Structure 1
Amino acid sequence: MFIDGDDSVHHRPKNSRYGRIPLLFSPLTATGSAINVDDLPLDNSFAGLPPAFYTRLMPTPLPAPYFVAASARAAALAGLDPALLEQDDFVATFTGNHVPARAKPLAAVYSGHQFGVWAGQLGDGRAILLGQLAGPHGPMELQLKGAGKTPYSRMGDGRAVLRSSIREFLCSEAMAALGIPTTRALVVTGSDQGILRETVESAAVVTRMAPSFVRFGSFEHWSSRDKPEELRILADYVIATFYPELAGAPNPYQALLKEVTRRTAHMIAHWQAVGFMHGVMNTDNMSILGLTLDYGPFGFMDAFDSEHICNHTDQQGRYSYANQPQVGHWNCYALAQALLPLIGSVEEAEEALAVYQPAFAGKIDELLRAKLGLATAQDDDAQLFDAMFSLMHANHADFTLFFRKLGTLRLDAPDQDAPLRDMFRRDDFDAWAVRYRARLRLENRVDSERKLAMDKVNPKYVLRNYLAQAAIEKAQDKDFSEVARLLAVLEHPFDEQPHNDRYCALPPDWASHLAVSCSS
């Protein structure tokens, strides 16, 4: 049986509209005598699956590892005191030079579609799962990215470079602060060992965290090999561990597909609402938990272009900003195809997939209303949103600054619109502003109240490529202070932070030459 999905993702879709973690319990603390890294209470539920699901192996050490940066918020999620992460034994552990006594390191196997083409077997080619630690919201898996070759490395060297590791670290934590479902980044360590990419760069390892790193491609792997028992084992593991509420459904596998589809639609709506582009939405990069996974050639929109492609490798524009919602739907079809032997019928699978479009539309409309300061819903809001994005596209308005400045618009003072009008051809903006003001009058909301609400959802600070590049260049000279400063700014993206205004400035001219690709 085959589910017929829409593969026309090279064209703009018809509908192209587009926090802090409380420390709830006592962490493993560095207070007093130092904690021995071998005392970490690591577990590994994934290692309880049959051996066919992974390869047990040790990370490959790097010479003279050093600490680069750590996230205190991510550490809290894993029940760790961030002060531990700078200790030599923890640096060695999170570089792969020392394996804690209770760890069960492994690399997982999976397959997937890459750029819409079946790629066959893939797997953790440069990532090794150490195990999981109990946190205030449940277990968090610790995965070392860049820890050396695995049986799934294919032609790769199993390493990551400092440049890409810093980008993933900063963006993971920035996305979390924006309230977007994502994997997290605990710590980055580095080494002077040279790694060949376009040029020779220094090696690094980023320890990333998530409740699970199971992907759509994990299911595609067993389905493509006609291994129904392994497929069932994996599905039962995911349901029992992460979706126990689905176990009692009449068809738990259909319920799983439906929930993952809904979460995926919501995740991508969040991306669209902040101008985030993933860059490599392959099925092996799609989380079964609906988390943003695998930060490679990502980007946040500067001058708005609905067709913008953030990945220099993506010559056909499959993963452009405008295509992301439709690609997400296509990927859910691929997951449905993999789960079909368990679900039982095409009709039941299609019923589950049918939640995608209304889930995406409902979430993006909800997010856009909040961004425009609209507390109620009106039938013609979609037309207002479409007109706004057409205006932004035609004038290449800066995505983040436009929405942040929109909160300053005063309902009855169009003569004070200059900060906004200056981002557009004035006649174009004035025509849309008339429609927007008419819509605002239906809200019965004072300007100050609306601005306060809008500032809580329209970030002032996002991880622009030029900001990441500036931090990377200093880090390559062993100055990690800018990485720490930038992280501190991005952890509070909605706050004014007047002393950090330089971090919300338009990109400088030199930034137009920055390009990221699949090697990033």
Structure 2
Amino acid sequence: MRIDNQYAKFDWAGTAVTPAPLLSPRLLLLNADLADELGMALSEAQWRDITSGQQLMPDMQPFAQVYAGHQFGGFSPQLGDGRAMLLGEVVGPNGQRWDLHLKGAGKTPYSRFGDGRAVLRSSLREYLASEAMHHLGIATTRALALVGSKEPVYREQVEPGAGLLRAAHSHLRFGHFEFFYYSGKPEHIPTLLNYLIDTQWPDLSKDATGYAALFARVVEKTATLIAQWQLVGFCHGVLNTDNMSMLGLTLDYGPYGFLDAYDPDHICNHSDHAGRYAYDQQPAVGYWNLQRLAQSLSGVIEIEALQQALGSYEQQLMSTYSQGMRQKLGLTTWEDEDPALFRDMFALMAAQKVDYTCWFRRLAELAPSGAVPTNLQALLSDATAWSEWFVRYQTRLAQEGKTQAEKEQQMNAINPKYILRNHLAQQAIEQAEQGDMSEADTLLMLLARPFDEQPEFNAYAMPAPDWAETLSISCSS
């Protein structure tokens, strides 16, 4: 492991800062597997001190990045790392570069009216969610370490403070390029593109042709990411352009949520009163955000190339989604009647508020012929309304020619049994705030193997209880 800080050399791209140490820190979680991947063989005391801002490793250069962003459709000309900072860029044993990003380290020049702190509630939510997404095979930032503190942090109420150290191959956002475009400093945009090419995509040339290929790659990765979100029923909640990753990573977990009862109009962020970032709006918002990025890059990439790349977004998203949905239903081939089969299924699921994750997992038990399994019927408020659909689906399964065992294996390999439901995260948070991390540990263990049966933990794979509907998740989460 070596530290090779390239971004901090761009003094025009942010500000050198110093972490403000948290009081009486305690190491709560450490991602030992990720630490090994980074080649960071540190003691628990060292992890605690770094994540709490108590000390830095040699050669670390804390740096708060500046960026802008379209937030809920309106442009904010200057945002930036307001409660976070880039500690350094680590090159692991395999040559892969990682940003180390510390959240909750105190005020920076971009904190605006904030205190620069993080609370345990939101920090643990991000830790759990990023690891859940990683093990579902969806691109994401990773959680490396979490510390708690006795230092009080004031939100809607007084909450315990925390520090979260996360890692990603890059934290560059759409908003970085928007800042320099709209602030009249477009000369810095090629430098950032060259940095991305040098550190992540060295196969691309550092010229107009390479920049066009880079944007096309961002479009492809964004489309794939959002299609994968839709397939697992994940809602981000705040898809502002400053929360969009140039690498197509799931970035900045706030008021996220996985679907419980299927509702295409589900809004996971209670601050999103107009439903701009509702579940079924995510694909369109992803495209809108890419258009904003294209505008910011229009000085270095030909308009025709930008339009061509944007034109591939829908096809890439729909191709990824349709292929994934066929796999979720145990299908391999494509038949003309499949889209209607999918649409009718979702209409019935929405009408009866069927649990999204349980539905696909239990559907694997349905054979190409015979009765509908009892535990699948248990998800339905009116099983008779499904009779025609089940006949069509079983007929379609019979066309595949798979054995029941083969079909179940395929479906169980893509349909998770365990997801991070809001009520499960809330229970872990409440215990953590009392100093008990056992529930968080259990969740991390389950979420690391989301497709395995693990029958002794079946209670974690049940539909959400009624009280879960009362949980309010907002931007402060």
Counterparts of 1:155 and 1:431 in 2: how far apart (Å)?
A: 57
SS of equivalent residue, structure 2 residue 131: helix
Paired letter, 2:71: Q
Q: Is the alpha carbon distance of 1:240 and 1:380 closer, same or farther for their aligned partners in structure 2, counting shifts above 3 Å?
A: farther
Instruction: Look up the SS of the partner of 1:96 in the other structure.
Output: coil
2:318 maps to 361
**Secondary structure of the structure 2 residue equivalent to 1:209:** strand
In structure 2, the residue matched to 1:150 is 108
| Unaligned stretches of 5+ residues in structure 1 | 1-39
| Cα deviation digits, residues 493-520 of structure 1 (max 9, x gap) | 0000011112112222322211110000
SS in 2 for 1:499: helix
Q: Is the contact between residue 276 and residue 299 of structure 1 (CA under 8 Å) also seen in structure 2? A: yes
**Equivalent residue, structure 1, for 2:262:** 304
Q: C-alpha offsets along residues 459-496 of structure 1, whole Å, 9 cap, x if unaligned?
A: 00000011111111111011112111110111000000
Residue of 459, 462, 465 corresponding to 1:502: 459
Residue in 2 that maps onto 1:44: 5
2:146 is aligned to 188
Task: For residue 77 of structure 1, report the CA deviation from its aligned partner.
Answer: 2.8
1:215, 1:475 → 2: CA distance?
A: 31
- DSSP-derived class of the 2:388 partner: helix
1:306-455 pair list within 5 angstroms = 306-345=264-303, 347-413=304-370, 415-424=371-380, 425-455=382-412
Q: CA deviation at 1:213?
A: 0.2
What's the secondary structure of 2:77's corresponding residue? strand
- Match of residue 80 from structure 1: 40
- Partner Cα separation in structure 2 for residue 277 and residue 68 of structure 1: 27
What's the CA shift for 1:428? 2.2
* Contact 2:265–2:278, Cα closer than 8 Å, also in 1: yes
SS in 1 for 2:297: helix
> Is the Cα contact below 8 Å between 2:104 and 2:162 reproduced in 1?
yes
- TM-score w.r.t. length of structure 1: 0.89
Distance 1:137 1:381, change over 3 A: farther
The code of the aligned residue for 1:44 comes to N
- Report the secondary structure of 2:20's partner residue: coil
Q: In structure 1, what is the Cα distance between the partners aligned to 2:43 and 2:26?
A: 11
For residues 178-235 of structure 1, give each alpha carbon's deviation from its aligned partner in whole angstroms, at most 9, with x where no partner exists: 0001010001001110000110000001111001000000000011122221111111
Partner residue, 1:176 = 134
Residue 264 of structure 1, aligned match among 207, 211, 222: 222
Q: TM-score, normalised by structure 2?
A: 0.97
| Alignment correspondent of 1:37 | none
How far 1:70 moved relative to its partner?
A: 1.6
Partner of 2:21: 61
**CA deviation after TM superposition for structure 1 residue 427, in Å:** 2.3
Whole-angstrom distance in 1 between the partners of 2:342 and 2:207: 38
Distance 1:76 1:372 in 2: 37
For residues 327 and 372 of structure 2, the distance between their equivalents in structure 1, rounded to whole angstroms, comes to: 23
Over residues 242-264 of structure 1, what are the superposed CA-to-partner deviations in whole Å (9 max), with x where a residue is unaligned? 12222178622221111101100
Give 1:197's aligned residue: 155
Structure 2 gap segments, 5+ residues each = none
Secondary structure of 2:160's aligned partner: strand
Letter of the 1:66 counterpart? R
Name the SS of the counterpart of 1:75 in structure 2.
Answer: helix
Mean alpha-carbon deviation: is it higher for 387-396 or for 170-179?
387-396
Do the aligned residues in 1 keep the contact of 2:27 with 2:47 (CA within 8 Å)? Answer: no
Moved more, 239-248 or 111-120: 239-248
**Where in structure 2 are the equivalents of 1:225-264 lying within 5 Å?**
225-247=183-205, 251-264=209-222
Q: Does 1:70 align with 2:21?
A: no
The code of the aligned residue for 2:59 comes to: R
Decide which of 238, 246, 249 is 1:288's aligned counterpart: 246
Distance 2:169 2:318 in 1: 27
Distance 1:85 1:507, change over 3 A: farther
In 1, Cα distance between the equivalents of 2:466 and 2:395?
37
Listed one character per residue, the Cα deviations across residues 65-109 of structure 1 (whole Å, up to 9, x for unaligned) are 10111223322332234xx452x2320111111122210110000
In structure 1, the partner of 2:83 is 126
Task: Tell whether the 8 Å contact from 1:142 to 1:209 is kept in structure 2 after alignment.
Answer: yes
Q: Distance in 2 between matches of 1:76 and 1:502?
A: 32
Task: Determine if contact 1:77/1:137 at 8 Å carries over to the other structure.
Answer: no
1:422: Cα distance to partner? 2.9
Q: Deviations over 1:355-398 (max 9, x none)?
A: 10000000001111111111112233222211111111111100
Name the residue aligned to 2:168: 210
Q: Aligned residue for 1:475?
A: 432
Q: Which piece of structure 1 moves more, 162-171 or 226-235?
A: 226-235
Asked if 1 retains the 8 angstrom alpha-carbon contact of 2:97 and 2:199, the reply is no
Q: Is the 8 A contact 1:249 1:255 kept in 2?
A: no
Whether the aligned pair in 1 keeps the contact of 2:208 and 2:301 (CA below 8 Å) is: no
- Aligned partner of 1:99 among 48, 56, 71: 56
Q: CA deviation at 1:431?
A: 1.6
CA distance in 1, matches of 2:123, 2:184: 36
Q: Partner letter of residue 417 of structure 1?
A: P
Does the 8 Å CA contact 2:51/2:147 hold for their aligned counterparts?
A: yes
Task: Give CA deviations for 1:390-430 in whole Å, capped at 9, x if unaligned.
Answer: 111111100100000000001111x2433223322212221
Say whether the 8 Å CA contact 1:140–1:209 is kept in structure 2: yes
The CA deviation string for residues 279-330 of structure 1, in whole angstroms up to 9 with x for no partner, is: 0000000000000000000000000100000001000000000000110011
Q: How does 1:108-127 map to 2 (within 5 A)?
A: 108-127=65-84
Query: For residues 132 and 163 of structure 2, what CA distance do their matches in structure 1 show?
Result: 19
Calculate percent identity across the aligned residue pairs.
Answer: 47
Instruction: Indicate the residue corresponding to 1:491 in structure 2.
Output: 448
Q: How many Å apart are 1:41 and its aligned residue?
A: 3.1
**Contact 2:77–2:183 (Cα < 8 Å) also in 1:** no
